[in-house]
Amino acid sequence: MKYCKLIVLILLFVLVLSCDESFNPYGDFVERYAFNCILKSDENLQTATLFRSYRPDGFDPFTYTTDPSVFNADIRIWYDDSVFVFKDTSVVRQDTSRYKTPFSFYYNNQFQIGNRKTVELEVLLPNGRRLRSSSFTPSKIDFEDRSDVLVPSGNNNFIQIIWTSFDDGMFFLPKMTIRYNQNVNGRIEEKTKLVPLRYLSQGGESVPVFPTANASLTVVYNINAITRALDEISEGDPLKQNYSIYENLSFSVTAYDLPTTKYISSTGGSIDDLTVSVDVADYTNIEGGFGLFGSYSKKKYNQLRFFQNYIDSFGYNFIVEN
């Protein structure tokens, strides 16, 4: 289930709250709260997590086995002249080596964000304390006509996609995937293959390099990387005819709002909507607590497609799309 991705977020938040440099197991304990929510434009399921700090016995935080999730909080988001209240729920915990109770989180499945909108957050904790935050959603992404539409693109050894945005200082994350079907013992399975920008040689091995979030308004894929990704789809399988490649590649760009961009910049890492680790020494935009309240906007580029003879050269079938 998609909710199960929250396992990483929960473990990271727990570690941060218990291992802050200012923490002293023998000093005065001050309860703190960490909230995380990244609103999405591409679906109406919005999720949030809320945790409290704790004091373990000694210096090892993993000796503490009580779930630090905060229950029964009133979480409200004001967006586009409406108020959306989040409900609490839980899913089965797959790793019970430390916590035995289910994973708990909050959700609302009644809205998705648009472009250049103000969003405001208020969290009323069971003890009466409040957490607040606000942000402004990213602007619309438009792809330029100069972007490539065919793979391969003439005699070029690269594919370039270019876009525009009204936002300054925001980060963008491009993503390209190959869509294909595989015949497995007569059963057709739909699969995808993530495409790297290029491959680097490290220690005698070829290592894929994938896009990371940054401020650039363009991305360049090496055609050799696309060829390598296509080869890897059937690597070790001599029956190439069992693979059918869709004509259209899937390509999208995710634009992050300013708080999320600042988080990425402060940590130098990647991000997705469910696996955010917020170290209070790095970045927080939660008034009265810690964590991250942000948003992202995703735009698909639907013009990119394969040449059929290019796919035929691998021995694959070619699925024509309109």
Amino acid present at 110:
Q
Given a cut of 50, whether residue 130 has pLDDT beyond it is yes
Distance CA 130, CA 52 (A): 13
Given a cut of 50, whether residue 108 has pLDDT beyond it is yes
Tokens 């250049």, residue? 116
Residues 22-63 pLDDT 10s? 444 445 656 789 999 999 999 999 999 998 876 665 565 555
The CA-to-CA distance between both ends of the chain, in Å, stands at 32
Least confident window among 96-100, 125-129, 266-270, 275-279 = 275-279
- Break the chain into its structural domains and give their ranges: 2-138+257-295, 142-253+301-319
pLDDT of 54: 66
Helix/strand/coil for 3: helix
Which runs of consecutive H residues, i.e. helices, occur in the chain? 6-18, 223-233, 258-267, 308-312
- Cβ neighbours of residue 149 under 8 Å, at least 6 residues apart? 303, 304, 305
Least confident window among 170-184, 253-267, 269-283, 298-312 = 269-283
High-pLDDT (> 90) share of the chain, % = 66
List, as one string, the DSSP characters of 157-216: SEEEEEEE-S-SS--EEEEEEEEEEEEETTEEEEEEEEPPSEEEEETTEEEEE----BS-
